[in-house]
Amino acid sequence: MTGEDVRQVIEAILPQQEIERLYAQFGVIERQRKLHLGMLVRAMIISAGTPGGTYQADVLRSYLEFEVPKVAHSAFYRWFDEPLEHFMAALADRALAYAPAQQVDLSGILGGVKDWHIVDSTTVRVREALRTEFPGTDLDVLLEEEILVLDGRPLDADVHVGDAKHPLHLRLVGVHTPKGYCFFLTNLPPRIGPRQVADLYRVRWEIELSIRLDKSVHRLDEVDSERSCSLKTLLHAALIASIIAALLAHTHNRQTRPQQEGAPRTEAPLHPRRLALQLAVSCQTIAQAFALKGIEAKRHWQQIADLLTHSGRDPNWRRRPSVLDQLRGWKRQPVGGKQTSRRNLKAAA
């Protein structure tokens, strides 16, 4: 991954011209003339992975690191209003539209698929005063009564989910494993057999990794705010930060994948979580790079890319390839480091 790759991803998600257009559209600049919105947005997003990235006071500290006019805490908190919330929502929607437009890295049973939707949910903690505005969701699943024979063979039955007014016609698929049956609900056509459905469902684990990134690095479940608009603004910032980390990892992993399908990797992939942690540490360096031009900017971005590549490498890529990598046909590779160390110790003894 080069410095130009890093610059293109970050500027594609946070383009200054689009930021100016959106804050004019939502009236942010008219209401808050002293606000340098471009710097505020970058402070919220790039520092989202820092220990205090989900607190407005810590966002203020990151914001003041830029060469901007000083602002009091009370005035800064007033900036987090509905126009800023709508602006961040539009910026997040733009990032969500940009990410799936990139070249995919799929093969095997995933190859040739045009559109996949794998959905999961997570919880976000809010203050007691905001619980009525963010009640959460509850889905009651009703299955038609049907005799299901669990005899070790794959199970495939038509079921209806939901109430009578809005039924969903799905397939209930069951696959026997050493730990018992695993069941899946899907709307994939019958030509996708039960075992293929089970393999595809394993891809859902990538969502769990994404949620872990959102929570453990960008602290999505620790956003602390008294007002709804402030909470939503910081939530959008955390999600955009996760998208940037995932896009950078995807860019590197696609560039370094084996040329021949099924061939083993020779270079470690980047892990989005490890990369996001380094992004948070490098937030001020990245912010400074936006202001540079020419050769100096190119050198600065390359230093950032080298650091992200070094710190973001997955240390377990040989022993525990990801679910997607396994579906690509990449096998676990033996790691001889420990065995070599034991032989050296034995020889020394």
Where along the chain do its domains lie?
Answer: 3-118+218-327, 133-202
What gap in Å lies between CA 197 and CA 74, rounded to an integer? 53
Q: Which of residues 163 and 171 earns the better pLDDT score?
A: 171
| Band of pLDDT at residue 17, cut at 50, 70 and 90 | confident
Residue 306 has pLDDT above 90, yes or no: yes
Q: Which of residues 331 and 183 earns the better pLDDT score?
A: 183
Q: Give pLDDT tens digits for 86-124.
A: 998 999 999 988 888 887 777 666 666 666 666 666 667
Q: What is the mean pLDDT of residues 201-230?
A: 75
Q: Give pLDDT tens digits for 42-73.
A: 778 876 766 555 577 777 777 777 777 787 88
Q: What is the mean pLDDT of residues 160-166?
A: 73
232 touches 300 (CB < 8 A): no
Edge-to-edge strand order for the sheet containing 168-177?
155-161, 168-177, 180-186
For 216, counting Cβ atoms within 10 Å of its Cβ (0-12 exposed, 13-18 middle, 19+ buried), the class is middle
| Band of pLDDT at residue 32, cut at 50, 70 and 90 | low
What gap in Å lies between CA 1 and CA 305, rounded to an integer? 6
Model pTM score: 0.71
Q: Give pLDDT tens digits for 131-162.
A: 777 765 443 333 344 456 667 888 888 877 77
pLDDT at residue number 128: 75
Residue 190 has pLDDT above 50, yes or no: yes
Percent of the chain with pLDDT over 90: 7
C-alpha Rg value of the chain to the nearest Å: 24
Q: Give pLDDT tens digits for 239-276.
A: 888 889 889 998 998 888 877 776 777 888 888 888 88
Close Cβ partners of 17 (under 8 Å, ≥ 6 residues apart): none
Q: DSSP character for 215?
A: I
| Band of pLDDT at residue 305, cut at 50, 70 and 90 | very high
- The residue whose two tokens read 């520092």 is 47
